Chains A and B, each alone.
Chain A
């Protein structure tokens, strides 16, 4: 049988999704389910002084209204996902009874016969607020004597951390050249096309609470709910529906709504469904990206890096939902380059905006932006070619495993497992036609046209622990069922894990089914985040599949009266010596080992229960990598950017399904392009969100995303038996850097400096005017 791993296969999921028969949360038919809607804070910082829902409760069709104060039994802090001993944590309550810290924070819930009526009731609730001064930026948060995000707190700092290797201060003081700059990346969101949703039903007879949740981490949700509700985990079943309309990070977080809805369902004894609308999503789903970097680099006459010092202001939002993003940023700054002396200082602070957490890319785009912008600045300073400066600094293919000198978020010394960064860069240069593009650039400049070339090389830590697992069972009907804890949001798990299991068992894929994301089906799991599932769940499935092969062959051998080594599969038949006449089917194996005969002893040599399980725990993060090259033309009159050519070189180790990996990379790229040129979750100085519809917040369409020339190299990871690395986020990471580099490169004769992402037409023109060569 040919290896299924590596096959370019269309997906099994597609048919139902193409015919309108997907099963998204809002499509689930829960008889008599009530609809919920949340009242949310209109103020960035306020104290509730009076709450009156009398009129709302009296509205026909309204079943209940609960304020935060009505549900004190569940007002327990939602823990930060990634913590640190130095973190000054401020409790994030599911639905605060009194103090509100961002616009959009839920403060009451209405449960009604329909969402229409629930929204009618929201308009009838009277709340009096004492409005307090709010903090709308990290700069305001860190300003001495400024307003406090949390009343009565001592400062707005969440945590101060440093990462260092060598002695950056000394290296900078003695470096032949130094350059410094301040860079800023704007807030941006996940914007899954399906917003968040939670539904729940309580069964009084069993004491079980069943929760449907669009979460990327059903097991994490169950764990948190178990603690908050003080219920046994087995009495809580969290199901991520088979179809979830995108995740991209915000759905990996745990929110107050996920606590309130099941609890209310239990209290009322009715099924309750809450489907976040886009208006809510804009103000209450977690975001990311906003960071300010003050970076200084020291380098020699050849452009070789001697030291990097970076001071990062990270916007944590109103509460710390986790320190994963800034931790990843600090570990990603050195990137694919050899940096002998590193000093990175993180100042994570609170602001009165919706909390931040991972969004596809998760802290990496910001770091790559800083480092790649500085590589271009070094080249410009020394009059060198930016590609050549990168060549001189890249870690070489024979230097793996490569120790960066600082620590990674998983607690291990930051070590790159494998890769070939020069091959990625050279491939990207080759495909963009670098030399001829430079000639064209010079030629067109003479005509007053501005072409620019932007490069960005990056690494992406992925495939993180602690573990992920899978169970494989032969069902009584003779099919192979692969059960993952991981919940998908469009990645094609039903296809990929059938491919892996097919290779492990040595069985045709058509006999294998995959099911995901249900805590009742598999006890332990972590979730889909950090581009980790292929590199953690993949090896687990492969191992469980190999165990299953042994179980099946052993069982068949007993029934066929031969040795297991004489048995192999032909279709769903385990055959002796390849003879279909001397065979047992999967269903017969299940009949013997799973179903058995009532009260009759199993045949000698048969082990009961055709089920295997495996959990894979990676030693540390694997490192995917890539190089992007952009050729753009900038119109200095409008600031418009036209992308003429875009090349992506990508290395995620062993590829399970090239069709799907291409999809991940290109989709990630489109998201990254949004961060590079379009997406801005603007808040004003009072921390009021200004972009709360798709008229003001621009997601890219097919008209904005250019065709991409995508190529792959494969540096298998030595950290897992499949050699797999993550592919979900890499495409998102470097576009802001590549586009900003290309724009500044294009406008170099006019002196415009690009220091923030997204790079928008208006800001390009503003930068041109600031440079003074155009008016």
Chain B
């Protein structure tokens, strides 16, 4: 039986999309396969590792646990949208400076989680930085560069 497709319209990184999708297509696969935005990675497909984290209407969200049909009318942000005009965002720069990534597979999820968190709240100390990062798994770095990056950017904002 052919699947009934649903029309989904919204924006990704400010660019409109208008695509017919199968209802069972996850948001992550939609971004990767239909929009060819392959920066959103799939590490576990059950919502724990956080590699697929994107921002949907301002909220950090597991793209593996949301269906593409559900983003009809939504504004989605992915890692591809972080660097405006080719200039790395301060968080991306901090990741590089602090060696907060090695294999880089988990990195987009961390960037999106932290981006959303820093919009919502300030991070005052290391404990809070670790809390902000704790919903994503990195197997390479041991987190120290990630923690430092969150602190750097939070401090940069506080100083600005």
List residues of chain A with CB under 8 Å of any chain B CB: 10-11, 13-15, 17-22, 24, 26-27, 29, 60, 116, 191-195, 243-246, 248, 277-279, 489-492, 659-660, 662-663, 666-671, 693-695, 699, 701-703, 705, 707-708, 731
Contact = CB atoms under 8 A, between A and B. Distances in A.
A731 B107 CA distance: 22
Contact of A492 (B40, B102, B111, B136): B102
Contacts of B105: 22, 24, 192-194, 243, 245-246, 490
Contacts of B130: 702-703
A702 B103 contact: no
Interface centre among B37, B83, B97, B142 (most CB of A within 10 A): B142
A194 B83 CA distance: 24
B139 A193 contact: yes
Interface stretch (B65-73, B74-82, B116-124): B74-82
A670 B138 CA distance: 9
Overall SS of chain B's interface:
loop
Interface in B64-116: 78-80, 82-83, 88, 92, 95-97, 99, 101-108, 111
A245 B103 contact: yes
Nearest to B44: A278
Contacts of B129: 702
Given A19-B80, A193-B139, A702-B130, A694 B48 contact: yes
A56 B40 CA distance: 31
B108 to A, nearest CB: 5
Contacts of A244: 103
A662 B134 contact: no
B52 to A, nearest CB: 11
13 contacts: A15-B88, A19-B92, A20-B39, A27-B32, A192-B139, A193-B41, A663-B142, A667-B142, A669-B142, A694-B137, A695-B48, A708-B144, A731-B142
Overall SS of chain A's interface:
loop
A699 B39 contact: no
Contacts, number: 179
B111 to A, nearest CB: 7
A291 to B, nearest CB: 22
A19 B83 contact: yes
B143 A663 contact: no
A662 B131 contact: no
B63 interface: no
Nearest to B92: A18
A18 B133 contact: no
B145 to A, nearest CB: 7
A3 to B, nearest CB: 20
A705 B130 CA distance: 9
Contact of B99 (A10, A194, A702, A708): A10
A338 B45 CA distance: 49
A193 B106 contact: yes
A193 B103 contact: yes
Contact of A694 (B39, B49, B111): B49
Contact of B104 (A22, A659, A666): A22
Contact of B136 (A13, A27, A116, A701): A701
Contacts of A489: 103
B139 A694 contact: no
A668 B106 CA distance: 16
Contacts of A191: 139
A667 B41 contact: no
